[in-house]
């Protein structure tokens, strides 16, 4: 078998997926791989599509329609970047991240299937590493989601398995399709295939070719960029700031970071002290906010969707959120942060202020006619940020509808939002 992803490769994959890692982090390779598995599940919307955590192909019907069209979800940000390249003389960068490489390989598998291909080899340009794939079936998970059921195996050229040699000999010249995929793209794809392989019940036993004795069964679903909510949740639930382990010790001065113990806290102090001093010495103002319908009753009964640069181009993320109509009687948002500080995005226009966290667990409004004094304070803060209309600040939950915000201290750098 080809070598598994080493720590540096796992870190690069997490960064490509949008996951923040503290400078000089000491997270174990095992912990990083768990985070990578969780991020890959977010990328394939696993919890929304398969809440039972298993997928039995025998219970599904056949998919009809283009697979490639479904296997190429991007994001608003990616589409915008592509359009800007098309409208300029700039050439696209040849440097692509590993997550993009993997998604491109999945899209190519969909295209090959649409063209009638069932036997596929994904290999790098130097033909040193390859994954052999046989597409068993493409089934319908729901009206929007196809599932490709496949068997796969991988080897290095220097130690090619007899089963892989037989696969190539059997299908060469008879419908075998070759897809060029980088070694790192293959490694991340294998990580995803291995993750999904565990979710197929042992009772599912499709017919196999003789060379497939050692092949594993797995499946692929449309896989795209992580949503802002997923990125925000994963970046906040990271455990110890330095090693990622179970965190039990919170910084007593600012309460914004947690550590597993004194050793990590001492080692992390040089990179944390600037933020700590800013928060502990900042001025915090308590303000009362409202839900969107309560702040703007004209939207009562309407639906609202949070569309941003991370929103998937296929719309699956918005469908999965299952929005309810806006109501003036909406309950307060859940307090997922307890009494801990968290980062808010503040957006202003001439009559309203909108605040929300990266997880969208808090998404509230303040109107100028309800609280002109605090409205002015928030506008003064946003004037220091992007185009004078948005900024980021630390906040704490005070009550159901009240937040305390540290307005006079900017973040060291704008977060990935």
Tens of pLDDT, residue by residue over 244-262, are 778 888 888 888 888 988 8
**Cα–Cα distances in Å, from 320 out to 47, 294, 334, 402?**
10, 25, 19, 29
Distance of CA 331 to the CA centre of its chain: 28
Q: What is the pLDDT confidence band of residue 165, given thresholds at 50, 70 and 90?
A: low
Q: What is the rounded average pLDDT of the residues 199-207? A: 94
For 60-95, write each residue's pLDDT tens digit: 999 999 999 899 887 766 665 554 544 555 444 445
The string of DSSP codes covering 213-266 is TTPEEEEE----PPPHHHHHHHHHS--STTT-S---EE-TTT---EESSHHHHH
Q: What is the pLDDT confidence band of residue 126, given thresholds at 50, 70 and 90?
A: confident
Q: Are residues 275 and 293 in the same domain?
A: no
Q: What is the pLDDT confidence band of residue 192, given thresholds at 50, 70 and 90?
A: very high
Q: Are residues 24 and 58 in the same domain?
A: no
Q: Which residue, among 14, 15, 182, has the nearest Cα to 94 in the 3D structure?
A: 182
Q: What is the rounded average pLDDT of the residues 292-311? A: 85
Q: Which two structure tokens, joined as six digits, stand for 254? A: 């600012």
Contact status, residue 279 vs residue 256, Cβ threshold 8 Å: yes
The residue from 179, 203, 225 where one domain ends is 225
Q: Are residues 294 and 162 in the same domain?
A: no
Q: Are residues 119 and 67 in the same domain?
A: yes
Q: Are strands 176-180 and 119-123 parallel, antiparallel or unpaired?
A: parallel
Q: Are residues 90 and 212 in the same domain?
A: yes
Contact status, residue 382 vs residue 347, Cβ threshold 8 Å: yes
Task: Please tell me the total count of domains within the chain.
Answer: 3
Q: Are residues 291 and 378 in the same domain?
A: yes
pLDDT, greater one: 337 or 156:
337
Q: How is the chain split among helix, strand and coil, in percent rounded to 5? A: 35, 20, 45
Q: What is the rounded average pLDDT of the residues 145-161? A: 81
Q: Are residues 312 and 374 in the same domain?
A: yes
Give yes or no for residue 342 having a pLDDT over 60. Answer: yes
Say what the pLDDT of residue 256 is.
82
| pTM, 2 dp | 0.81
Say what the pLDDT of residue 1 is.
42
**CA contacts within 13 A on the Cβ side of 32:** 22
Q: What is the rounded average pLDDT of the residues 218-238? A: 88
Q: Which two structure tokens, joined as six digits, stand for 16? A: 């490509």
Q: Which two structure tokens, joined as six digits, stand for 288? A: 């009362």
Q: Are residues 254 and 384 in the same domain?
A: no
Report the distance separating Cα 393 and Cα 409, nearest Å: 7
Q: Which two structure tokens, joined as six digits, stand for 22? A: 């503290």
Say what the pLDDT of residue 273 is.
86
For 4-50, write each residue's pLDDT tens digit: 688 889 999 999 998 988 666 777 888 889 999 999 999 999 998 98
Q: Are residues 74 and 186 in the same domain?
A: yes
Share of residues in the chain with pLDDT > 70 (%): 87
Beta-carbon contacts of 8 under 8 Å, excluding residues fewer than 6 positions away, are none
What is the residue range of 11's domain? 1-44+227-280
Beta-carbon contacts of 392 under 8 Å, excluding residues fewer than 6 positions away, are 343, 344, 345, 346, 385, 410, 411, 414, 415, 417
Q: Are residues 209 and 78 in the same domain?
A: yes
Give yes or no for residue 294 having a pLDDT over 90. Answer: yes
The residue from 253, 280, 307 where one domain ends is 280
Largest Cα–Cα distance of the chain, in whole Å? 77
Q: Are residues 176 and 313 in the same domain?
A: no
Report the distance separating Cα 114 and Cα 414, nearest Å: 43
The residue from 237, 265, 280 where one domain ends is 280
Q: Are residues 9 and 107 in the same domain?
A: no
* Ramachandran angles phi, psi of 84, nearest 5°: -65, -35
Q: Which residue, among 223, 227, 225, has the nearest Cα to 359 in the 3D structure?
A: 227
Distance of CA 297 to the CA centre of its chain: 34
**Which residues are paired to 290 by β-bridges?**
365
Q: What is the rounded average pLDDT of the residues 136-152? A: 95
Give yes or no for residue 319 having a pLDDT over 70. Answer: no
């Amino acid at each position: 078998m080809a070598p598994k992803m080493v720590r540096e490769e796992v870190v690069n994959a997490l960064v490509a997926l949008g996951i923040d890692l503290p400078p000089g982090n000491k997270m174990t390779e095992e912990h990083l791989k768990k985070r990578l598995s969780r991020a890959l599940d977010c990328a394939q919307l696993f919890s929304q599509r398969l809440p039972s955590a298993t997928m039995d192909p025998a219970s599904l019907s056949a998919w009809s329609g283009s697979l490639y069209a479904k296997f190429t979800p991007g994001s608003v940000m990616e589409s915008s970047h592509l359009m800007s390249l098309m409208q300029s003389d700039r050439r696209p960068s040849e440097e692509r991240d590993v997550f993009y490489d993997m998604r491109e390989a999945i899209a190519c598998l969909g295209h090959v299937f649409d063209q009638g291909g069932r036997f596929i080899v994904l290999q790098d340009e130097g033909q040193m590493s390859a994954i052999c794939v046989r597409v068993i079936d493409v089934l319908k998970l729901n009206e929007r989601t196809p599932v490709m059921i496949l068997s796969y195996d991988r080897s290095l050229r220097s130690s090619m398995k007899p089963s892989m040699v037989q696969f190539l000999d059997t299908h060469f010249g008879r419908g075998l399709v070759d897809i060029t995929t980088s070694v790192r793209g293959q490694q991340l794809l294998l990580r995803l295939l291995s993750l999904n392989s565990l979710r197929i019940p042992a009772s599912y036993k499709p017919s196999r070719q003789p060379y497939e004795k050692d092949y594993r069964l797995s499946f692929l679903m449309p896989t795209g960029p992580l949503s802002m909510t997923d990125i925000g949740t994963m970046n906040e639930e990271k455990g110890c700031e330095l090693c990622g382990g179970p965190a039990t010790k919170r910084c007593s001065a600012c309460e914004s970071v947690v550590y597993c113990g004194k050793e990590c806290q001492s080692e992390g102090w040089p990179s944390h002290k600037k933020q700590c001093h800013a928060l502990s010495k900042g001025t915090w103002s308590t303000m009362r906010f409202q839900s969107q319908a309560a702040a703007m009753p004209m939207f009562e009964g309407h639906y609202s969707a949070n569309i941003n640069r991370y929103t998937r181009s296929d719309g699956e993320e918005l469908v999965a959120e299952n929005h309810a109509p806006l109501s003036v009687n909406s309950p307060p948002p859940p307090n997922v942060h307890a009494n801990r500080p968290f980062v808010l995005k503040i957006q202003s226009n001439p009559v309203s202020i909108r605040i929300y966290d990266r997880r969208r667990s808090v998404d509230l409004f303040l109107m100028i006619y309800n609280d002109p004094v605090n409205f002015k304070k928030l506008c003064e803060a946003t004037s220091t940020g992007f185009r004078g209309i948005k900024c980021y600040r630390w906040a704490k939950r005070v009550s159901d509808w009240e937040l305390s915000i540290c307005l006079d201290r900017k973040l060291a750098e704008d977060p990935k939002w």
